[in-house]
Amino acid sequence: MAHRLGGRRKNVKKGFQFTLMVVGASGTGRTTFVNTLCGNEVLSKKLCDNPDSAHIEEGIRIKPVTVELDEDGVRIALTIVDTPGFGDNIDNEFCFQEIMGYLERQYDDILAEESRIKRNPRFRDNRVHALLYFIAPTGHSLREIDIELMKRLSPRVNVIPVIGKADTCTPTELTDFKRRIMEDIDHYNIPIYNFPFDVEEDDEETVEENSELRALLPFAIVGSEEELTVNGRTIRGRQYPWGVVEVDNHQHSDFARLRSALLSSHLQDLKEITHDFLYENYRTEKLSRSADSPTVEDSAILPEDLATQSVRLKEEQLKREEEKLREIELKVQREITEKRQELLAKEEALRNLEARLAQAQESSN
Ligand SMILES: Nc1nc2c(ncn2[C@@H]2O[C@H](COP(=O)(O)OP(=O)(O)O)[C@@H](O)[C@H]2O)c(=O)[nH]1
Ligand SMILES: [Mg+2]
């Protein structure tokens, strides 16, 4: 972890690039979170009065947007990748594939770039460094779809689970909900990003910081695009008849701690894990897959070509077999003719012998 700080200092002037993906069911507060994180309306909220179509998202295609942020004097080019929220079961498989396809395409681009002889100077690394998975604030436990999605995506990206719209739960409900979620994640062996640390290797500060963040998982998120004035201070929050929920107040939500982990303390770690571990695993899998079937992947023969080729080979083989059969047939026929002639000759000889015998008998009489 020491080199994390070193790398940070070196890059302070130039700034950092970071890519964050947000995934979750429709209405869990993804868009609001992104706009809260960036401090302005990066993603437009759709206005929809019709409950029948409220869950349908316009842009099914994933479109990343990049914003420039200033994080305590450090420039950060933050790319946000919003994904279509899923609603009913029919949409789900399509969403999974859309998200997975996007993640893997970014790895494929790097793989292709790495194998080029001449590097493209304008090449952009669009790999996703962290994925926030928004869990709906049901207060129960994880749904099957949450488990499946996190399980499928975790091998490809740093998944960080969060509870959206956490202000809809009471503090006690939230504590229980968090506990049950982590029990499920444990039980189903979902390899989420859990702020890894090594008590032996890392310094005390890192160990403490990471175990604190780990204990907060899944982060309870409150988002708001509204600015309110509370006791003369301007804050972002949500106004309720009984009071104000402050987005950046640690007592009200984990938003501020998640924000600083993503954009400051753990930015470098998330990027390193993406490159050294997740991308590396993908690369190995992909290369060993193509080594298993070299003819198809390496020489780029189209399936049509392969089919025609195999038909031609079979035809040639059949023809050769036919020729061999005809040869055998001719040989057998020749042998039969020879045998028949032999037989005829023997019959003739026999007939001659009989005639001679008959003659001899007649003359002796
Ligand atoms: N109570 C509460 N409501 C929220 C929060 N974030 C968003 N919302 C509301 O939930 C609805 C859906 O939010 P949106 O960000 O569009 O969700 P998305 O479909 O996941 O992008 C909107 O009416 C938001 O105003 C939150 O933190 N708390
Ligand atoms: Mg949205």
pLDDT in tens, 40-86: 777 776 554 455 555 555 545 687 999 999 888 899 999 999 987 87
User: Does ligand 1 lie within 6 Å of residue 246's CB atom?
Assistant: no
pLDDT score, position 128: 98
Q: Which atom of ligand 1 is nearest to the CA of 25?
A: 20
Going from the Cα of 233 to the center of ligand 2, the distance in angstroms, rounded, reads 29
Q: Which atom of ligand 1 is nearest to the CA of 253?
A: 27
C-alpha separations of 273 from 51, 257, 280, 295 in Å? 41, 20, 9, 33
Instruction: Indicate the domain borders of the chain.
Output: 2-298, 304-365
Alpha-carbon span 347 to 39, nearest angstrom: 116
Each residue's pLDDT tens digit, 186-217 = 999 999 999 999 999 999 999 999 999 999 99
**3-state SS class at 224:** coil
pLDDT tens digits for 83-96? 878 765 666 888 88
Q: 36 CB under 6 A from ligand 1?
A: no
Q: Is 87 in the pocket of ligand 1 (CB under 6 A)?
A: no
Ligand 1 proximity of 85 Cβ (cutoff 6 Å): yes
pLDDT digits (tens, 9 = 90+) for 130-189: 999 999 999 998 999 999 999 999 999 999 999 999 999 999 999 999 999 999 999 999
Q: In terms of pLDDT, which residue wins out, 220 or 60?
A: 220
109 contacts: CB under 8 Å, gap ≥ 6: 123, 126
Q: Of all protein residues, whose CA lies closest to atom 9 belonging to ligand 1?
A: 29
- Ligand 2 center–CA 26 separation, angstroms: 7
Residue 297 has pLDDT above 50, yes or no: no
| Residues 247-250: contacts with CB under 8 Å, at least 24 apart | 247/36, 247/222, 247/223
Nearest in space to 133 (alpha carbons), one of 61, 216, 192, 186: 192
Q: pLDDT tens digits, residue range 323-335?
A: 888 888 888 888 8
- Three-state DSSP at 311 gives helix
Name the phi and psi angles at 2, rounded to 5. Answer: -60, -40
Dihedral pair phi/psi, residue 157, rounded to 5°: -155, 155
Q: Is 83 in the pocket of ligand 1 (CB under 6 A)?
A: no
Average of pLDDT values for 22-29? 93
User: Using the 8-state DSSP alphabet, how is residue 27 labeled?
Assistant: T
Question: Angle at CA 269, nearest 5°, toward 263 and 270?
Answer: 70
In which band, very low, low, confident or very high, does the pLDDT at 14 lie, cut at 50, 70 and 90?
A: confident
CATH class for the domain made up of 2-298: alpha beta
Please work out whether the CB of residue 29 comes within 6 Å of at least one atom of ligand 1. Answer: yes
Nearest CA to ligand 1 atom 3: 165
* Nearest ligand 1 atom, CA 164: 27
Which residue among 28, 30, 32 has the greatest number of ligand 1 atoms within 8 angstroms of its CB, and so is best to mutate? 32
Distance, CA 29 to ligand 2 centroid (Å)?
7
Residue 84 beta carbon below 6 angstroms from any ligand 1 atom: no
**Which residue in the block uniquely carries the two structure tokens 């956490």?**
166
Q: Write the CB contacts of 216 (distance below 8 Å, at least 6 apart in sequence).
A: 254, 257, 258
Residue 284 has pLDDT above 80, yes or no: yes
221-271: per-residue pLDDT in tens? 999 999 999 889 999 999 999 999 999 999 999 999 999 999 999 999 999
Task: Indicate the average pLDDT of the chain.
Answer: 86
Proximal ligand: closest to the CA of 29: 1
Closest CA to 21 of 162, 142, 147: 162
